[in-house]
Amino acid sequence: MTIVLINPSEYRPIVIPRKGVYVAYKAYFINEYIKDTEQKIFDVVFPLTKFERATKALPKEPVIDLTRPILMEFMYTRNYNILIKRWENL
């Protein structure tokens, strides 16, 4: 899936008892059929530990500026880990 995180430095932590800690980011899909970005905005939720582990595996150069929107392509692996394929500042 290819999404754009609108402001990666702003996230909302979500704590679910006996399930763990999650983080929610404002994001939108890249879709050529919906032109207005405000109609596409949603909250994408990741498990905190798995998302931190995936972002630590990225090279340090693209992660420099977290105040700008970030285009990222991710997928879940068979053992439900997060694999980030592409991470670009827009």
What pLDDT, on the 0 to 100 scale, is given for residue 8?
A: 86
Give the C-alpha separation, 81 to 88, whole Å: 21
User: Where does the pLDDT of residue 63 fall: very low under 50, low under 70, confident under 90, or very high at 90 and above?
Assistant: low
What pLDDT, on the 0 to 100 scale, is given for residue 29?
A: 83
Q: What is the mean pLDDT of the chain?
A: 84
Q: List pLDDT tens digits, range 40-55.
A: 788 999 999 988 888 8
β-bridge pairing 42-47 and 82-89: unpaired
pTM: 0.79
User: Where does the pLDDT of residue 26 fall: very low under 50, low under 70, confident under 90, or very high at 90 and above?
Assistant: very high
Give the C-alpha separation, 46 to 24, whole Å: 7
What pLDDT, on the 0 to 100 scale, is given for residue 55?
A: 83
